[in-house]
Amino acid sequence: MIESHATTQDIHGHPALQHHFENMEQQREAGTIGMWVFLVTEIMFFGGMFLAYALYRNFFPAAFASASNHLDITLGAVNTGVLIVSSFTMALAVYFTQVGNRRPQILCLVLTLILGLTFLGIKAVEYHEKYTDRLIPGHLIPGASFGPEAHALHLLPGATLPQVEMFYWIYFAMTGMHALHMIIGAGLLTFLIVYSIKGRFDPEYHSPVEIIGLYWHFVDIVWIFLFPLLYLLGRHFEHG
Amino acid sequence: MQPIESFEVPAPPKVNYINAQYGLKSWLLTKDHKRIALLYLGSITFFFFIGGIYAMMIRLELLTPQGDLVQSATYNKVFTQHGIIMIFFFLIPSIPATLGNFLIPMMIGAKDLAFPRINLLSWYIYLAGGVITIYALLAGGVDTGWTFYTPFSTTFSNSYVVATGLGIFITGFSSILTGLNFIVTIHTMRAPGMTWFRMPLFLWSHYATSLIMILGTPVIAITVLLLAFERLSGVGIFNPALGGDPVLFQHLFWFYSHPAVYIMVLPSMGVVSELVANFSRKNIFGYSFVAFSSLAIAVFGFLVWGHHLFVASQSVYAGMIFSFLSFAVAIPSAIKVFNWTATLYKSSISYDTPMLYALGFIGLFTIGGMTGLFLASLAVDVHLSDTYFVVAHFHYIMVGGALMGYLGGLHYWWPKISGRMYPEGWGRFSALVIFVGFNLTFLPQFIAGYLGMPRRYHAYPPEFQVFNVLSTAGASILGLGMLIPSIYFVWSMRYGKHAEPNPWHLPGLEWRTQSPPPTENFEVTPIVTWEAYEFAPPEETEVVGKFGPELERI
């Protein structure tokens, strides 16, 4: 292994091979490990908010259930489906890049992008509902500070309005940070689509698709945790 | 096994990383890890001097018991900004971003870090954070203490908390990217034959540091972000009006900020391991123990944050566990100190400037670590909490530890970095001045703190004055001691003696290429066939440490 190192394999360099790597395999491995390490930092980043959620849900179960009941479970469930399908198309895009099948590769990337934008659209509808119900916490939006009408929110016994506001702050912080990651993901997908159309990827050089795929799956998984925690837990308090 | 004398050193070509390209653009757009290290070196030195000016103001104010130099509100800003600048903009990036950046690829025989563009990006992110923080300082400063405790920081403070927080939030990402780059580089870029257990201990300590950077920094990022939102919009998880718990902030803050202490000191320990082994000309005692103790410190470091909350309404049972774990983290640190000492034993020590810093580190770090055990004890901490004892303790770790290691490393690798030798006589002189000045500054603070002098006040009862006069005198000496290296380093860049490729005659990979190195570090990718710190064949090793008559018999 030592002897063969600097002699044979890197003479015919791939155009995408950067100068400081010995070969494509090393470059691909570095990129993949890099993305995994980055995802670890993302877990820690979201971890702070998950901690806050766990803590205050434990403190104020009734308020969290009341506020959770007001979220639109249908839209949330549809969005969950949309994201799962988008993960599937993303995985297909990675596969088609690896085997070098360019047309389905581009198609899958475009589908993933469309599904991601669909998610963001539905999320915007939900946010707007919260806005009209005056459920945006604090004075995040000037002139529309938190103050739901009595009929807009059914408080379970033991729940108070400030605690509901705390739930909505955590809801907006977590879903907002998730949506920001989706927007960044959409940008990355656009980059992938442009580069795919230009034909930059081939079976030997597909790591950008793979790495951004990892990122996309991670963002989906965050939602897979957010949906039950924010929408589903505690529904039985109200709906039996 | 390769005897040290027979290193094949190629005839020094004229082109190296410094003169390969000229012009501002070639520096600002460089992807060379060595140039980026120099960019970092310049910027952190700048911030170090700003932080130093604040330190000077603190010491001048405390010269007399009355608050006669600045008002109490100004004093709050001065010590806050001293802390923020020194910690986030000097100590955290100090060794990793300069020496680590420069040396990690060289020590493993790579051409660059795995992600050169991300490396450059991290420097720009650091600068952006720095510029925003400097804006906050100029606009009116921040007075919350570097700890930003809620609810003062969210509700009551009238200073520029959000801008400073934003600066720290942004700078955090430069630290994350540096750590990410190091981890991937050490995993994937090692030259053939460079196995994990042939790596210099500098790399092990940087690997452990990087783990803390990627695991801890995102937590402080989200915490500061939530803090800023809470301050801006009046809503947040730390807000008691919504049932929030301000102490949660302390938990989240220290979950990063305690491990951050290890971000500061672990790289320094790596430098000291290099210095102790190389300047004793002896393989380090217990290589794998020193290597794994770095990882153990990184792991245990995440489990001890609660010792900052002994007097902050934390349950006493949690306190007991955190106290126990804090004692436990002393074990890997002690392993290092004992192994360094065992390495020194019966070795042939040369007292060059870097070694003086390393020996200083061992002594000062031991004092800093031992006083940390006082603070980790539940009952004693109630008495010592928020006194100058704490201030003295963490300065022994951060200045006596981290800064001494940084300066030692900078001297040690200066011939490689700049291609010039620093003046050895001045180097030793300033190392001694810094050592004396440092101890005179901070030893009296232990006593003042034990007697009850609280931290963060601009005035104090007159009976503490003698300690403060000593401390201020020491700080003046320390300040002068710091100026000397900054002058002769700059001087040596032009007038210093040209450095050989291997001025210390050492086996490490970074010494097997020209000084300064070419842009791609090595002429050909090296193949590593030797262990770290492999100085001489075993039969020759026997000679090392034997005295006159004994030696003659051999």
Q: In A, which residues are within 8 Å of B223 by CB distance?
A: 48
Closest by Cβ to B214, choosing from A22, A41, A48: A41
Which of B375, B367, B369, B487 minimizes the C-alpha distance to B435? Answer: B367
What sign for the dihedral angle of Cα A202, A206, A212, A213?
positive
Closest by Cβ to A6, choosing from B218, B241, B525: B525
Smallest Cα distance from B248 to chain A, Å = 8
Q: Look up the ipTM and state it.
A: 0.91
CB B144, CB B84: distance < 8 Å: no
Closest by Cβ to A166, choosing from B216, B243, B524: B243
Contact A38 B215 (CB under 8 A): no
Q: In B, which residues are within 8 Å of A165 by CB distance?
A: 235, 242
Closest by Cβ to A37, choosing from B184, B223, B524: B184
User: In which element (H, E) is residue B234 found?
Assistant: none
Preceding amide of B151 cis, omega within 30: yes
State the count of interchain CB pairs (< 8 A) between A and B: 120
Contact B180 A41 (CB under 8 A): yes
Chain B residue whose CA is closest to A28: B188
Q: Which of B36, B155, B188 to mutate to test the interface with A (most CBs of A within 10 A)?
A: B188
Contact B233 A138 (CB under 8 A): yes
Chain A residue whose CA is closest to B187: A30
Number of Cβ within 10 Å of residue B294's Cβ equals 27
Under CATH, which architecture does the A24-239 domain have? Up-down Bundle (1.20)
Closest by Cβ to B235, choosing from A30, A163, A169: A169
What length does chain A have?
240
CB B484, CB B492: distance < 8 Å: no
Q: How many Å apart are CA A192 and CA A113, to the nearest integer?
A: 10
DSSP B116-183: HHHHHHHHHHHHHHHHHHHHHHHHT---STTTT-TTIIIII--S-HHHHHHHHHHHHHHHHHHHHHHH
Closest by Cβ to B223, choosing from A33, A41, A48: A48
List phi, psi (to 5°) of B99.
-65, -40
Q: In A, which residues are within 8 Å of B239 by CB distance?
A: 166
pLDDT tens-digit series, residues A171-225 = 999 999 999 999 999 999 999 999 999 999 999 999 999 999 999 999 999 999 9
Closest by Cβ to A37, choosing from B183, B236, B524: B183
Contact A165 B242 (CB under 8 A): yes
Sequence-separated (6 or more) residues with CB below 8 Å from residue A24 = A14, A16, A17, A204, A205
Q: Which of B169, B178, B184 to mutate to test the interface with A (most CBs of A within 10 A)?
A: B184
pLDDT in the model for residue B126: 98
Chain B residue whose CA is closest to A2: B192
Closest by Cβ to B184, choosing from A34, A48, A60: A34
Q: In B, which residues are within 8 Å of A163 by CB distance?
A: 242-243
B351 DSSP 8-state letter: -
Residue tagged 């921040």 (tokens)? B142
Q: In A, which residues are within 8 Å of B527 by CB distance?
A: 2, 5
Contact B116 A20 (CB under 8 A): yes
Q: In A, which residues are within 8 Å of B17 by CB distance?
A: none
Q: How many Å apart are CA B179 and CA A40, to the nearest integer?
A: 12
Residue A52 has pLDDT above 70, yes or no: yes
Sequence-separated (6 or more) residues with CB below 8 Å from residue B469 = B63
What is the rounded average pLDDT of the residues A127-137?
91
Q: In B, which residues are within 8 Å of A30 by CB distance?
A: 114-115, 184-185, 187-189
CB B416, CB B515: distance < 8 Å: yes
Residue A238 has pLDDT above 80, yes or no: no
Residue tagged 């994990």 (tokens)? B196
pLDDT in the model for residue B9: 53
Residue A6 has pLDDT above 90, yes or no: no
Outline where B280-315 has alpha helix (H).
287-301
DSSP chain A: --TTTTTSTTSS--TT--TT-SSHHHHHHHHHHHHHHHHHHHHHHHHHHHHHHHHHHHH-HHHHHHHHHHS-HHHHHHHHHHHHHHHHHHHHHHHHHHHT-HHHHHHHHHHHHHHHHHHHHHHHHHHHHHHHTT---TTSSTT--S---GGG--PPTT--HHHHHHHHHHHHHHHHHHHHHHHHHHHHHHHHHHHHHTT--BTTB-HHHHHHHHHHHHHHHHHHHHHIIIIITTHHHHH-
pLDDT in the model for residue B551: 46
3-state secondary structure of B356: helix
Smallest Cα distance from B289 to chain A, Å = 26
Question: Does the beta carbon of A47 lie under 8 angstroms from any beta carbon of chain B?
Answer: yes
CB B392, CB B443: distance < 8 Å: yes
Q: How many Å apart are CA A79 and CA B76, to the nearest integer?
A: 49
Q: In A, which residues are within 8 Å of B113 by CB distance?
A: 20
CATH fold for the domain made of B31-553: Cytochrome C Oxidase; Chain A (1.20.210)
Contact B235 A60 (CB under 8 A): no
> Which tokens in the block code for residue B449?
């703190």
Contact B244 A56 (CB under 8 A): yes
Q: How many Å apart are CA B407 and CA A197, to the nearest integer?
A: 52
Angle at the Cα of B77 (from B73 to B78), degrees rounded to 5? Answer: 115
Contact A45 B222 (CB under 8 A): yes
Chain B residue whose CA is closest to A163: B242
Contact B237 A6 (CB under 8 A): no
Sketch the domain layout of chain A as residue ranges: 24-239
Would you give per-residue pLDDT tens digits along chain B (554 residues)? 444 544 555 555 568 998 888 899 999 999 999 999 999 999 999 999 999 999 999 999 999 999 999 999 999 999 999 999 999 999 999 999 999 999 999 999 999 999 999 999 999 999 999 999 999 999 999 999 999 999 999 989 999 999 999 999 999 999 999 999 999 999 999 999 999 999 999 999 999 999 999 999 999 999 999 999 999 988 889 999 889 999 999 999 999 999 999 999 999 999 999 999 999 999 999 999 999 999 999 999 999 999 999 999 899 999 999 999 999 999 999 999 999 999 999 998 999 999 999 999 999 999 999 999 999 999 999 999 999 999 999 999 999 999 999 999 999 999 999 999 999 999 999 999 999 999 999 999 999 999 999 999 999 999 999 999 999 999 999 999 999 999 999 999 999 999 999 999 898 999 999 989 999 999 888 999 988 998 865 444 444 444 444 444 44
Q: How many Å apart are CA A31 and CA A10, to the nearest integer?
A: 18
Poorest-pLDDT segment among A119-123, A133-137, B395-399: A133-137
Q: Which residue type is seen at B185?
A: T
Helices (H) and strands (E) in chain B, counts: 19, 0
Residue A140 has pLDDT above 90, yes or no: no
> Which tokens in the block code for residue A73?
């479970």
Q: In B, which residues are within 8 Å of A56 by CB distance?
A: 237, 243-244
Smallest Cα distance from B524 to chain A, Å = 8
Contact A33 B226 (CB under 8 A): no
Q: Count CA within 13 A, CB hemisphere, residue B199.
A: 27
B499 DSSP 8-state letter: P
Contact A5 B233 (CB under 8 A): no
Residue tagged 């119900």 (tokens)? A133
Chain A residue whose CA is closest to B248: A52
Contact B222 A46 (CB under 8 A): yes
Smallest Cα distance from A184 to chain B, Å = 16
Closest by Cβ to A5, choosing from B112, B221, B525: B525
Chain A residue whose CA is closest to B242: A162
Phi-psi region of B506 (alpha: psi -120 to 50; beta: other; left: phi over 0): beta
**Chain centroid to CA B498: how far?**
28
What sign for the dihedral angle of Cα B55, B58, B61, B62?
negative
Q: In A, which residues are within 8 Å of B236 by CB distance?
A: 138, 169
Q: How many Å apart are CA A29 and CA A41, to the nearest integer?
A: 19
Q: Which residues pair with B498 in a beta bridge?
A: B420
Smallest Cα distance from A44 to chain B, Å = 6
Q: In A, which residues are within 8 Å of B520 by CB distance?
A: 19-20
pLDDT in the model for residue B550: 46
CB B97, CB B178: distance < 8 Å: yes
B20 DSSP 8-state letter: S
Chain B residue whose CA is closest to A20: B111
Task: Please tell me which residue, B6 or A227, carries the higher pLDDT value.
Answer: A227
Q: How many Å apart are CA B30 and CA B86, to the nearest integer?
A: 27
CB B374, CB B385: distance < 8 Å: no
Question: Does the beta carbon of A170 lie under 8 angstroms from any beta carbon of chain B?
Answer: yes
Q: In B, which residues are within 8 Å of A60 by CB distance?
A: 243
Q: Which of A50, A169, A211, A218 to mutate to test the interface with B (most CBs of B within 10 A)?
A: A169
Q: How many Å apart are CA B84 and CA A37, to the nearest integer?
A: 27
Q: In B, which residues are within 8 Å of A42 by CB distance?
A: 218
List phi, psi (to 5°) of A202.
-150, 175
**Chain centroid to CA B284: how far?**
22
Q: Which residue type is seen at B347?
A: S
Distances in Å between the Cα of A77 and the Cα atoms of A97, A122, A177, B272 are: 30, 11, 19, 56
Q: How many Å apart are CA B269 and CA B248, to the nearest integer?
A: 32
Chain A residue whose CA is closest to B173: A41
Question: Does the beta carbon of A203 lie under 8 angstroms from any beta carbon of chain B?
Answer: no
Q: How many Å apart are CA A238 and CA B14, to the nearest integer?
A: 79
B321 DSSP 8-state letter: H
Q: Which residue type is seen at A179?
A: A
Query: What's the alpha-carbon Rg for chain B, to the nearest Å?
Result: 23
Q: Count CA within 13 A, CB hemisphere, residue A81.
A: 7
